[in-house]
Each structure stands twice: as C-alpha cells, then as structure tokens.
A and B are shown apart, each in its own frame.
Chain A
Amino acid sequence: MLIPCPWCGDREDIEFKYGGAAQIAYPANPDSADDAAWARYVFFRPNPKGKMAERWVHSAGCRRWFNLVRDTVTHEITPTPAAEERR
C-alpha cells in the first residue's frame, strides 16, 4: 500500500506506523467525565467496513503524525482537510 505522507509524498507502508482511529480527541476535562464517558474515550474505537479516519506516523521518514481517510475494503486513501491534519 502506498501512503501519502503530507511532507514526503507517497511512500511504502512499511515506512509508517499505524496509530488507530483519528479524530478521537482527548477529553478537554477528564475529571468531569463519568466512568462510562471516560471508558468510551479509552476503549471504544470505530471498526467500519468502508471509509475510516486514521492516524499514521511516518516513523521511518519525517516522524510526523498525520491523518488520512482509508477505505478498509479497497485501501483507497483520501487525505483529510488540512485543518484536521494532525488530530
């Protein structure tokens, strides 16, 4: 699979590490979260058949984390908008 690093361009997937689902922000105030809400942040992740926002890090390259949307069926990758680039 080729992964488009926003800094280095298309590179082989072996240069990257997978960081799981993206856009799951650390709760702004963890202390005010009840157990269920906190557990949802820590343990619950989407596992869709289809498009999924993911975090990757170019660990054997520029070491930058970034986001992309990958279709888990076809591996088609569409970059996310720049505003969401890292989170």
Chain B
Amino acid sequence: MSRLPEGGRIDRSRPIRFTFNGHTYQGCAGDTLASALLANDVRIVARSVTYGRPRGVFSAGSEEPNALVQVGSETMLRATQVELDDGLEAASLNGKGRLTSEPETARFDKIYAHCEVLVVGGGPAGRSAAQSAAQTGDRVILMDEQPLLNSDSDGLPSNVRVLLRTTAFGLYDQNLVLAAERRADGGRLWQIRARQVVLATGAHERPLVFANNDRPGILLAGAVRTYLNRYGVAPGTRGVVFTNNDTTAPLASDLRSAGIAVAAIIDIRREQAIVDTDGDDDGLRAVTLAGGDRIECDLLCVSGGFNPTDHLYSQAQGKLRYDERFACFRPDGKLPNVTVLGAANGEFDFAIQPCWLVPGTNGDWSAHFVDLERDVTVADMQRAVNAGMRSIEHVKRFTTIGTGSDQGKTSGINEVGLVGALTGQPIGGVGTTTYRPPYVPVSFALMAGRNRGDLFDPIRLTSIQPWHVAHGAVFENVGQWKRPWYFPRHDEDMEGAVQRECRAARENVAIMDVSTLGKIDIQGPDAVEFLNRIYTNAFDTLKVGFGRYGLMCKADGMVFDDGVVMHLGPDHWLATTTTGGAAAVLDWMEEWLQTEWPELTVRLTSVTDHWSAVAVVGPQSRDVVHTLFPAIAVDTQSFPFMAIREGETGGIPVRLHRITFSGELAYELWTPSWYGLALWEAVMAAGQPLGITPYGTEAMHVLRAEKGYIICGQETDGTVTPQDLGMGWIVSKKKPFIGQRSHRRGDTRRADRKHLVGLLPVDGEQLLPEGAQLVLDENTSAAVTMIGHVTSSYRSATLGRTFALGMLQRGRERFGTTVYVPLNGHVVAATVTEPIFYDRENVRRDS
C-alpha cells in the first residue's frame, strides 16, 4: 500500500471497497478512482489507443489523457474524476469506449437557473470574486468540478449558491452557460443565464516532450502534489523531478515528507535534460540524462509550464495572445459581460524557460509523445510539417492531436510550440486551434434528460382512443398523433383487414375517427377576403351552411396544403388542414395576416383539439345518420353534398357535414371533444344492425387513392403546382391569391412538367413500391432517364388488383402508354391512366 499514514482530505474512517478489472481493492471516502488505484499500487490503468502501450494516471483532473475507464454503462470516464463509491466496478479501456445496448437506468435531469453573477471555478480567485459579488445582494452561483472547494464553503454569504461536481462545458451567446453536474444516480444538465460570467478556471500544467515520456509513473508535477497532499497517496517510492520552471520548487520537500526519496531534480534552466526513460510492464524504472547518466526511479514528476484554462472564454470568441514571459496563451481584450480572473487570465508569478522539445539520443522521434490520448508523437508532427502543413488547424487534422475526448488539454499548447519549433514560426504567430464546446465529454443521456422513451415527444390522442385500444386497433404515428392504422379481426393480417374495411366502406357502412384533422377557426369582418387571398379558389360565393374544398399554394405557386373550409355564420369560418400540416398552416396564415395584410381584421384560433370528428362512410351511411338524427331531413335534396347541419343525438351536440374523402356518400359528425367517445359509441350502436365497420388510415388511403384524391405531402413535395395535379379547375382566374403570379412563370408552364397520373401494373398482383422511379425504356442495363416516380401504391379490393398514383413527365400525354419501373433486379411494366379509378362521375358521392 502506498497510502500515507496521515494527511490529505480523505476520510480514513470510511473505507470503501471497489473492483478494478475484476480485482477487489479498498480506498477511502474522498478518494477518486485514480487516487485509490495509486494507493493500491496499481500503476497501469489503461493501454494506449494505437500502440497499446501501458499507461498510468497522469494528472489529477479533467485534463487526464491516460486513465480512461468504463463504469457500468458509462464509458470513457476519467479515473481522476470518478469518485470512489461502495461497490464501484471499473474496468480499463484501451483508448476506446464501449457502448452498452442496455437501456440507461441512471436518472438525468435538466435544470434552469438565472443569476446576476456566475463564477466558474472555486479556487482562491473564484471564491473571492463570488464573495465580493455577493455583497451587493445579487444572486451569485459559484461552481466547481471538484466535490469540495479548496477552502471550506462556510463563510460564503447565503446568496451564493455553490454547485460542486459541476463542470461548465459551454459558454454561449448572451452568457448562457451549460454545465454538467455529476450525481450518484446520474446527473443534471444546468442551463444558466448569467448577467456576468466570471471565469476563474485556473490553468493546466503541461508536460515536457521527451523520448518515452508516456510510461506509468510519469505524472504532471502538480498532480503529484495533489496526490500527496489531498489524497495522502505516494505515487512512487523514488522520484525524479523534470522541470523548466520554478513552480516545482515546493515539490522536493513534499516528496521527502511523504517518505519518497528525491533522486534528482533535472532543470532545463540549468542545461540539464532527461533524454530517455526505461521501464517494464509495470511502468517507469529509470531515466537517462543528457550526458548518459542513468537514475533509477519509479516516479517522474514533469512540468513544462502552465496553460491558462481559457476554453470557455475562447468558445465565446474571446481572443488569446502569446505571453513570452510565462510562455502561455492568455486572454487578449475583453468579452462583453465576461471577466477572466487569476491563473485563467495568465496572472502568474513564476520564472520559466520555454521548452517544446527535448531531443533523444538517436534521432528517433517516434516515442516522443505529444498527445497521450491520441498516441500522437513528434514523428507524426514532422510528417505533417514535411507534407507542407504550416497551419495549426491543418496539423491538428493531419495528426489528430487534440481531437481525443480530453480535447487536448495537456497536448494542445505543446502542439503549438512544436509547430513553431518545426516550422521556424514564432509561437504567437502559430496561434491556437479553435476551442469548441464541450469542455469535457458530456453523455447523450445527460443531454437527453427526461426526453426519452414516452417523453421523447408529446403523444397526441383523440378522445376516442380508448375504444380503439379496446378493439385491437394497430396504430401508426402521424406527426405526434397515434391513429388507428387498421382493426384486425382475430388472426387477420394487415392486408386482409384493409381489404375488408375498404369493402365495408364501398358496399355497406364504415366509421373512422378523423378527429386529428387540423382545424382553424377564422373570424372577423375580413375573413372571406382573407380566405380568397390564401386559397387558390374563391370563397366569396360560398353560402353560410356549406363547405368547400380549398387548395393553398406558397408564393412560388407550389401546392402547400388542402382541406375543406366551412362557412359557419356571418364572418365565421372554419378551415380544416391535413393532420400533419395544421401547425404550419396556422403559422403561414398568421404570417400573411400580420406582416403583409395588417389591414385585414381577422382572428385565427387553432381548434384542432376542441372537436372530435367521426366519419360515417358508405351507401348505408344515410340510414345510420337518419337513425341518430330523425329530426334532420337527410335526402339528397334537403342535405346535399357539402352542406352543414346542426343536430343533437342522445344529448350530444353534433355538427353534421356531408363531406367525403372516400368518394362514397359520407358524413362527418363533429362534437366537442368531451363527447367524442360517446358520439362514436352512439354511431356504432346505430350502425350495428347494418354491420358498421371501423376502419383505419390504411383503408382511408386506399379509398381516397381509388378516387384520385391527393394527399399533400404524399403526391406533392413542394415542387408540384395545382396544374401539375390536373387541378386547374380549382385555380381562380378572377381574384388574386398567394402564388398566382408564379403560375405564369416560364418554368411552371413548361410542357414537360411532371403530371399526376394513375398507374396500373400490367401484372395486377404486382405492388409498386412508393418512391419507385419511372422510366420509358424496358432495358435498364444501361443508364436510363428517370421521368417520374410512384407517390402512392395499394392493393384494391374494389378493383381486384393493385394500382398506384405517380408523378410523370408529360403524364397527361401518356395515358394508355406503358412505363417501366426498375426494381431490385427486375423491371415491372405499368399502364399510364387518368388518376381516377372509381366512380369517375361522382354518382356515389352525390347519391
């Protein structure tokens, strides 16, 4: 054991058992995994990513490049940051993490906070900044990535909120700071908006670059003092110090007080150097000095200077300059509402002789490690420079220096110095690479927080949902909605169910939950003028008590959405939209109303969720409606296609619309959502003697496609005009509307545009895949020109065959001709038809 008999900020009365690579060890409360491993004489913690070289603990903080471990499902953790916990099970990683396929069980949360002053870093500079900021009564947050502050947090005023184990990893616009808090059972993602951010993030010690500088037992000098004084651990028995500055001065006495022999202090400033090291599978055994002397040792404490920790400052576009005196990059100029203090600001007091490279004994640079995590050596850097690279960014990408999960905290500035040395540029001219968030690795689980599984995205359900579940519906996602896809009976498959549901709608009576349709209530004296401008067709001729199908285009003349617009009363309208397009259509309408047409007095309200809607479809739907609403005359003359009636059945208020999306005689019954389930059940009861059949979205698609009714977003994709769809009849020539002028552009009037067509595979059993490409040439062995694609494709019970809709160049000139659909390894022929397969004369619709 290398635990010192006394000292340190650990609790020796609380032993903690843990395992590492299957072996059981004991540490103390207050240990990190790294300090506990050193206390147990475990020198090799991991192997390096490329060369598999043994590596040990190198630092005592988040800059650790070597000691990467796996703990449970969490991977690529730094042993220097893992707090020892009873029963902890850790394992080595060889430079690469292992993802688990097990679901995450730890709990991650997001938390928001606001404060006047946020101090990042709880060292002396940060602590005193927090203390003085608190005197004004401001809300102050002081955060530090360590589990304890350097000095006790007692004595800080109560308006200072102290967050420990919390690493600020990103500084964004207007002082938004993201920070990761480590907790026993997971973590918390802090999102803090601060008026002032104080960066007191200290400095990272950097190593010296010499041959075989990566052996276990070689540690940063400051880290050695941390292990001795904070953790009461001796990381070796016989130590050598290798330095170029006088911050290492207190180290020798620290080592000696811990009983570690100080074999030598090698100081670059005295023209001394370590030119090589020697070791075995357990790490360092000896160092070789310039001049050839060999010194036995198992601990080498290295210091090459200090790099102010300016990652956050630099992320926020703060500029850095090279400071010759302290051989470091430090903040230059100011960022608004950001202050950098202490060592992070380069406020040092030491003497240093910069040294970027210590030559070896034989001209070989392949074991001079610059980036330990990435296994990048001086030889790799020479190759980059010899290949002509001068920019630090190019060298970084060529060598991968600084791209490891440690973000090059110990290697980045050495890289800058080496590029300067190898290319003969001044270091200040080389500059640093760009610092990007996150400052430390952040797990996806932390970023996701509770937004996973059922909480990943809101789930929208209609009021009729419980009935669908109880009756075995299979659901599909439509936007955030869950919609019944089909209702299988017994062991029926999807195809069987859909065919049966379609037959019921065509021959008998069927029922569908259409509550998810987008619904926008439109009121105001200028409502009709507004609708006229939004839709391609006119609404000023539509009487109260009727609905009309409408199509809308974007300014480029391309179809955007469609739906039925109902005229409910004087200055009162209601527009339905596609289920997926409701929010976008409302946004679109508001944009025009507010930005271009502020003179119109119109109010728009989304009422999608206010109404439940039940479609009653099929030749016998009239009987069902009559049973439910005996007071309403339902004959064709009294209640014609597109008419609206108000009614009531069994105490349920209902608005009836004679609307169809199947081509059959059909009604949509709307009721306030509270009544939705009751209305559905009432319709089911009334329809039971007729064998009323519930159907889902798949049958709906088949039925509407048989009629050639488009679905915006399926037949259209933002490049399709109404004329392309053969819907010129809905485009008014008498009044202006959005997109109208674009229909006269040369491009939208091209004769070779794609048109909506029907497609009948010659083999009526062959189902064309949606998205399949259409070509003219049956021989597809050479390159062929694609002249269209399949947009919708189904098996039709009514037609007794498969059919499809598609967009085809000059499609309307090709009716009756054959096109070909190249599939995986074979070609399918299909006949081009008009895009309507059923009841061309609308006899059934209007019956």
B59 in contact (CB, < 8 A): no
Distance of A25 from chain B, by nearest CB (Å): 7
Known: A35-B746, A42-B555, A43-B556. A30 touches B740 (CB 8 A): yes
Q: Please tell me if the beta carbons of B741 and A30 are within 8 angstroms of each other in the complex.
A: yes
Q: Please tell me if the beta carbons of A1 and B174 are within 8 angstroms of each other in the complex.
A: yes
CB-defined contacts of A55 to chain B, threshold 8 Å: 591, 595
- How does the 8 Å CB contact mask read for B162-178 relative to A, with 1 for contact and 0 for none? 00000000001110100
CA distance A39 to B193 in the complex (A): 43
Q: Please tell me if the beta carbons of B742 and A63 are within 8 angstroms of each other in the complex.
A: no
Distance of A6 from chain B, by nearest CB (Å): 12
CB-defined contacts of A42 to chain B, threshold 8 Å: 555-556, 742
Known: A1-B174, A2-B193, A87-B595. 9 other contacts (CB 8 A): A1-B172, A2-B174, A17-B587, A38-B742, A42-B556, A57-B587, A64-B594, A65-B591, A86-B595
What are 16 sample pairs from A and B whose C-beta atoms fall under 8 A apart? A1-B173, A2-B173, A2-B174, A26-B596, A30-B736, A33-B741, A38-B742, A39-B745, A42-B742, A55-B591, A65-B595, A74-B317, A86-B594, A86-B595, A86-B598, A87-B596
CA distance A87 to B176 in the complex (A): 30
Find residues 720-752 in chain B having any chain A CB closer than 8 Å to their own CB.
736, 740-742, 744-746
A75 in contact (CB, < 8 A): yes
CB-defined contacts of A30 to chain B, threshold 8 Å: 736, 740-741
Binding site for A on B (CB under 8 A): 172-174, 176, 193, 317, 555-556, 587, 590-591, 594-596, 598, 736, 740-742, 744-746
A50 in contact (CB, < 8 A): no
Number of interface residues of A (CB under 8 A): 26
Partner of A65 from the list B594, B742, B745 (CB cut-off 8 Å) is B594
CA distance A2 to B176 in the complex (A): 9
Distance of B599 from chain A, by nearest CB (Å): 12
- How does the 8 Å CB contact mask read for A17-31 relative to B, with 1 for contact and 0 for none? 101000001110011
CB-defined contacts of A63 to chain B, threshold 8 Å: 590
Distance of B571 from chain A, by nearest CB (Å): 21
The residue on A at minimum CB distance from B590 is A63
A72 in contact (CB, < 8 A): no
The residue on B at minimum CB distance from A10 is B174
CA distance A31 to B737 in the complex (A): 11
- Name which of A27, A42, A57 has the most chain B CB atoms within 10 A of its CB: A42
Q: Please tell me if the beta carbons of B741 and A31 are within 8 angstroms of each other in the complex.
A: yes
Distance of B107 from chain A, by nearest CB (Å): 23
Find residues 1-15 in chain A having any chain B CB closer than 8 Å to their own CB.
1-2
The residue on A at minimum CB distance from B583 is A59
Q: Please tell me if the beta carbons of A65 and B173 are within 8 angstroms of each other in the complex.
A: no
CB-defined contacts of B176 to chain A, threshold 8 Å: 2
CA distance A4 to B209 in the complex (A): 51
Known: A1-B173, A1-B174. A57 touches B591 (CB 8 A): yes
Q: Please tell me if the beta carbons of A57 and B590 are within 8 angstroms of each other in the complex.
A: yes
Partner of B590 from the list A41, A65, A75 (CB cut-off 8 Å) is A65
The residue on A at minimum CB distance from B597 is A26
The residue on B at minimum CB distance from A41 is B555
CA distance A33 to B740 in the complex (A): 12
CB-defined contacts of A25 to chain B, threshold 8 Å: 596
Q: Please tell me if the beta carbons of B556 and A19 are within 8 angstroms of each other in the complex.
A: no
CA distance A57 to B556 in the complex (A): 21
Distance of B744 from chain A, by nearest CB (Å): 8
CA distance A38 to B595 in the complex (A): 19
CB-defined contacts of A38 to chain B, threshold 8 Å: 741-742, 745
CB-defined contacts of B740 to chain A, threshold 8 Å: 30
The 10 closest A-B pairs by CB, nearest first: A30-B741, A65-B594, A2-B174, A1-B173, A75-B173, A26-B596, A86-B595, A42-B556, A65-B595, A42-B555
Q: Please tell me if the beta carbons of A19 and B591 are within 8 angstroms of each other in the complex.
A: yes
The residue on B at minimum CB distance from A43 is B556
Partner of B587 from the list A41, A43, A59 (CB cut-off 8 Å) is A59
CA distance A41 to B794 in the complex (A): 41
CA distance A38 to B748 in the complex (A): 13
Find residues 29-87 in chain A having any chain B CB closer than 8 Å to their own CB.
30-31, 33, 35, 38-39, 41-43, 55, 57, 59, 63-65, 74-75, 86-87
CB-defined contacts of A41 to chain B, threshold 8 Å: 555
CA distance A2 to B194 in the complex (A): 12
Distance of A12 from chain B, by nearest CB (Å): 8
CA distance A29 to B567 in the complex (A): 29
CB-defined contacts of A75 to chain B, threshold 8 Å: 173-174
CA distance A39 to B556 in the complex (A): 9
The residue on B at minimum CB distance from A13 is B173
CB-defined contacts of A43 to chain B, threshold 8 Å: 556
CB-defined contacts of B591 to chain A, threshold 8 Å: 19, 55, 57, 65
The residue on A at minimum CB distance from B742 is A42
CA distance A1 to B591 in the complex (A): 22
Distance of A76 from chain B, by nearest CB (Å): 9
CB-defined contacts of B595 to chain A, threshold 8 Å: 19, 55, 65, 86-87
CA distance A35 to B745 in the complex (A): 6
- Name which of A31, A65, A86 has the most chain B CB atoms within 10 A of its CB: A65
CA distance A65 to B595 in the complex (A): 7
The residue on B at minimum CB distance from A2 is B174
CA distance A63 to B587 in the complex (A): 8
The residue on A at minimum CB distance from B584 is A17
CA distance A1 to B176 in the complex (A): 8
CA distance A86 to B176 in the complex (A): 28
Distance of B355 from chain A, by nearest CB (Å): 38
Distance of B747 from chain A, by nearest CB (Å): 9
CB-defined contacts of A87 to chain B, threshold 8 Å: 595-596
CA distance A27 to B738 in the complex (A): 11
